[in-house]
């Protein structure tokens, strides 16, 4: 009687582990970058909820934002990446930055992130 074998071979299992390992390694490099970005977006949203957010000075907004960045352990955002533009509704804060992490040998993962938040005055609501 002939018996049919089913299952995965050792070589197939090793190749499967290699593919899963590469994706897991890439995930370990990408997840912290996106985690920092969501911390930046959350900090901007919290800054917009501050009382009198639209009337605060640019220096105060910058100080409050970077204090939140320190509390969230975000190190990728530099002061040069933080821009404030005054407009009719209050002020608009833009955080535009790039994160570069080494992947394998001379290959890098580069993430470009951009977050914009409008801080409105009371009459702009």
Q: What is the pLDDT of residues 45-73, one digit of tens each?
A: 999 888 887 788 889 999 999 999 999 99
Is residue 10 a part of any domain in this protein?
no
Task: Record the pTM.
Answer: 0.79
CA-CA distance, 19 to 110, in Å (whole number)?
Answer: 21
Q: What is the pLDDT of residues 4-61, one digit of tens each?
A: 877 788 999 999 999 999 999 999 989 999 999 999 999 999 998 888 877 888 899 9
Is residue 18 a part of any domain in this protein?
no
Helices (H) and strands (E) in the chain, counts: 2, 3
Is residue 14 a part of any domain in this protein?
no
* Listed range (60-64, 91-95, 117-121) with the worst mean pLDDT: 117-121
**Residue-level pLDDT at 66:** 93
Q: How many domains does the chain have?
A: 1
Q: Are 43 and 36 in contact (CB under 8 A)?
A: no
Q: Are 97 and 106 in contact (CB under 8 A)?
A: no
Q: Are 54 and 91 in contact (CB under 8 A)?
A: yes
Is residue 16 a part of any domain in this protein?
no
**Residue-level pLDDT at 124:** 46
Is residue 53 a part of any domain in this protein?
yes
Range of the domain at 115: 33-124
Record the tokens describing residue 124, joined without a space.
């702009």
């Amino acid at each position: 009687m002939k018996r049919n074998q089913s299952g995965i071979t050792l070589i197939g299992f090793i190749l499967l582990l290699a593919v899963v390992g590469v994706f897991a390694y890439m995930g370990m490099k990408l997840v912290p970058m996106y985690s920092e970005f969501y911390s930046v977006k959350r900090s901007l949203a919290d800054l917009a909820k501050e009382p009198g957010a639209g009337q605060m000075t640019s220096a105060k907004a910058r100080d409050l934002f970077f204090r939140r960045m320190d509390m969230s352990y975000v190190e990728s955002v530099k002061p040069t990446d933080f821009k404030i533009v005054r407009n009719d509704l209050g002020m608009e804060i833009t955080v535009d930055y790039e994160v570069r992490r080494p992947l394998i040998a001379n290959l890098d993962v580069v993430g470009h992130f951009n977050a914009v938040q409008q801080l409105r005055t009371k009459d702009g609501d």
